[in-house]
Amino acid sequence: MSAEPTANAAPEAPPAPSDFIRDIVARDVAEKRHARIVTRFPPEPNGYLHLGHAKSICLNFGIARENHGVCHLRFDDTNPVKEDSEYVESITRDVRWLIEGWADHCLGFKPKGAAPAAGTVNGRPDFHLAASAPGADAEPFFASDYFEQIHGYAVELIKRGKAYVCDLSPQETEAYRGAPDHPGKDSPFRQRSVEENLARFARMRAGDFPDGACSLRAKIDMASPNIWLRDPLLYRIRHTAHHHAGQKWCIYPLYDFAHCLSDYLEGITHSVCTLEFEVHRPLYEWILQSLELPRTLPHQYEFAKLNISYMVFSKRRLLQLVNDGAVAGWDDPRLPTLAGARRRGVPAAAIRRLAATVGVTKYESVTDVALFEHAVREELNAAATRRLAVLHTVKVVLTNIAPGDAVTCRAVDNPQDPSPRAREIALTREVYIEQDDFAEVPPPKYFRLKPGGEVRLKYACIIRCDEVVKDAGGHVTELRCTADLATRAGHPDADRKVKGTIHWVSADRSIEAEVRLYDRLFTVPEPGATDDFQRHLNPRSLESVRARLEPSLAAARPGEPFQFERLGYFTPDAKDSRPGALVFNRTITLKDTWAKPAGKG
Ligand code: ATP
Ligand code: MG
């Protein structure tokens, strides 16, 4: 017997629907506006990636893939306070996992340690950093690798009279900004001379001022209806070491300043982000245009975020769940993080399938979790090897099979396979079945095992329950049954019908394992709506049982998908499973148990 994964693929995920962003890219390709399409996925390394980020990854890598382009993985690491290398590593791992076998060839990395190289375009100085193949000597892009160039662009803005050093405190700056319905007020420092601004900005960099003492601001328009254009901050002082840039800086560019310039430096053609950045777009364009840069400018396009019911995606809330111990870490299989989904056994292809199904629009909405679960089942139905396992056992003694005897039966590995493989399993005198596949007092239309009744053991034969043995407390300890061996496949009564078929494992030819049964983490469809969201935690989101499995499962590898027949899809846990102390995670049940009471039979 072998537990190799079947080479099956699910029916190809729906083709990526065309959407307004892909239409724009297609137009630009048709008009030959770019030598090559370059997109980017720009996470801030301040948390783990989740299914929402996956939508952005699938879109950005999808565009690159469909246009023979490249998608840079770039860390937008301009705020040293919240960022950490742990997140850089987890994000890199998760992105690679999600695109493996689909868009790995589009992954844009840069040569290790490389920073933008100086050059000239049309006689004007320029910097540029292009992608290389993601081999051993390559690494993701980091916005912090451009701090020197970004600083240079800030100096250039000052020289052009388009930026100034402002000594207002953060609170005063806020008060001067005004509100959407009334204009802000000019800072008293707005009219500083270029020389004074250059000198003060140099002192900011040199560390002459404490955090918050002053900042560099763009000189745009304090009366603009768009609040982001009211002299936004470009640089602030933070005497904090940086996870990637080290001790070198005590001033850091703000996201809006660094992002457009990072896009430019990397030659990004289409900078695709989520809707909350729509109001930042005029600033994105103002910065690039004010610098009169020599190369083609990137353009920003926005789409609606993915939200899924019964999940929270906010990094703040996810961090809270991790820190409060509500879950066992960022990769807890109940979390919607990519690390959690992978550990739970969700195939990357299922996540890509979901992204293709929900599409790309400008309308914020909540996607029904059932759509995600459907995508997971579609993938696993094709990919998962079938095995028998019993989660809540009750012993059955087949009194007409002698102790030590074994009746060999054949079981199919995956009926979805065009030429399915089969394996041998042993029917022995003692087997286990599920407790709820037996009812001493059966409800109407109960087709599983009952006193005096018959049921088929899948892949084996029909058995009849002759006697129910109980302990002193009245609990069923054993069902004594007769096996009708003439009803095995290939035997004279193979076609004899009974209404119920149940799964089973041999008692002595099975192995014990811990099986973790996961359910939704929250009990309400929109748990993240309020700050007290933890009161909606599902107290039954994890049940751990001691189960009995077919022996071949001892060789299963984490991530390898299995269907435990009639129960759901399972995979070994990557962290806790060991030889001799196996742990399996339930990825998902076979049917949606939330829509209606569990279907059995
Ligand atoms: P925050 O900015 O609060 O730290 P974030 O979830 O926006 O959190 P980023 O690291 O900025 O995290 O996200 C990286 C990219 O993923 C951004 O381009 C962002 O627009 C995109 N993204 C984030 N959340 C979603 C989502 N739910 N659906 C689609 N794209 C998303
Ligand atoms: Mg963000």
Q: How far is the CA of 53 from the centre of ligand 1 (A)?
A: 6
When pLDDT is averaged across residues 294-305 and rounded to a whole number, the result is 97
Q: How far is the CA of 319 from the centre of ligand 1 (A)?
A: 15
- From the CA of 79, the nearest ligand is 1
Q: Torsions phi, psi of 162, nearest 5?
A: -110, 10
Q: Which residues contact 261 (CB under 8 A, 6 or more apart)?
A: 146, 149, 150, 153, 253, 287, 288
Q: How far is the CA of 567 from the centre of ligand 1 (A)?
A: 35
Work out the mean pLDDT of the chain and round it to a whole number: 95
Range(s) of the chain covered by CATH 3.40.50.620: 20-303
Around ligand 1, the residues with Cβ closer than 6 Å are 42-44, 46, 52-53, 55-56, 273-274, 305-306, 313, 315
- In this prediction, residue 135 carries a pLDDT of 85
Q: How far is the CA of 43 from the centre of ligand 1 (A)?
A: 7
- pTM equals 0.94
Q: Does residue 85 sit in helix, strand or coil?
A: helix
Query: What angle do the packed helices 348-358 and 85-99 form, to 10 degrees?
Result: 80
- In this prediction, residue 6 carries a pLDDT of 42
- In this prediction, residue 209 carries a pLDDT of 98
Q: Does residue 38 sit in helix, strand or coil?
A: strand
Query: What angle do the packed helices 348-358 and 369-383 form, to 10 degrees?
Result: 140
Atom of ligand 1 nearest to the CA of 55: 29
Give the CA distances from residue 407 to residues 422, 430, 431, 485, 506, in Å, rounded to whole numbers and listed in that order: 16, 12, 12, 9, 10
Q: How far is the CA of 72 from the centre of ligand 1 (A)?
A: 16
CATH topology of domain 20-303: Rossmann fold (3.40.50)
* Confidence band for 549, pLDDT divided at 50, 70 and 90: very high
- Nearest protein CA to atom 21 of ligand 1, as residue: 53
Sign of CA dihedral 424, 427, 431, 434: positive
Q: How far is the CA of 414 from the centre of ligand 2 (A)?
A: 42
When pLDDT is averaged across residues 7-11 and rounded to a whole number, the result is 54
- From the CA of 51, the nearest ligand is 1
| Candidate of 39, 40, 44 to mutate for ligand 1, largest count of ligand atoms within 8 Å of Cβ | 44
| Candidate of 40, 53, 277 to mutate for ligand 1, largest count of ligand atoms within 8 Å of Cβ | 53
Atom of ligand 1 nearest to the CA of 56: 30
In the predicted model, is pLDDT for residue 14 greater than 90? no
- From the CA of 59, the nearest ligand is 1
When pLDDT is averaged across residues 526-530 and rounded to a whole number, the result is 93
Please state which of the ranges 8-12, 168-172, 320-324 shows the lowest mean pLDDT. 8-12
Do residues 38 and 25 make contact, with C-beta atoms less than 8 angstroms apart? Answer: no
Identify how many contiguous H helices and E strands the chain contains and give both numbers.
12, 30
Do residues 214 and 172 make contact, with C-beta atoms less than 8 angstroms apart? Answer: no
When pLDDT is averaged across residues 194-211 and rounded to a whole number, the result is 98
Q: How far is the CA of 56 from the centre of ligand 1 (A)?
A: 8
Q: What is the CATH number of domain 318-385+513-588?
A: 2.40.240.10
- Nearest protein CA to atom 23 of ligand 1, as residue: 53
- From the CA of 53, the nearest ligand is 1
- Nearest protein CA to atom 14 of ligand 1, as residue: 43
- Nearest protein CA to atom 13 of ligand 1, as residue: 43
Structure tokens at 509: 């030819």
Closest-CA residue to 479 (of 394, 392, 393, 396): 396
Query: What angle do the packed helices 348-358 and 51-66 form, to 10 degrees?
Result: 80
- Nearest protein CA to atom 31 of ligand 1, as residue: 53
CATH 2.40.240.10 fits 389-503, yes or no: yes
Please state which of the ranges 45-49, 510-514, 589-593 shows the lowest mean pLDDT. 589-593
Range(s) of the chain covered by CATH 2.40.240.10: 318-385+513-588, 389-503
| Candidate of 46, 63, 274, 363 to mutate for ligand 1, largest count of ligand atoms within 8 Å of Cβ | 274
Q: Does residue 411 sit in helix, strand or coil?
A: strand
- In this prediction, residue 29 carries a pLDDT of 97
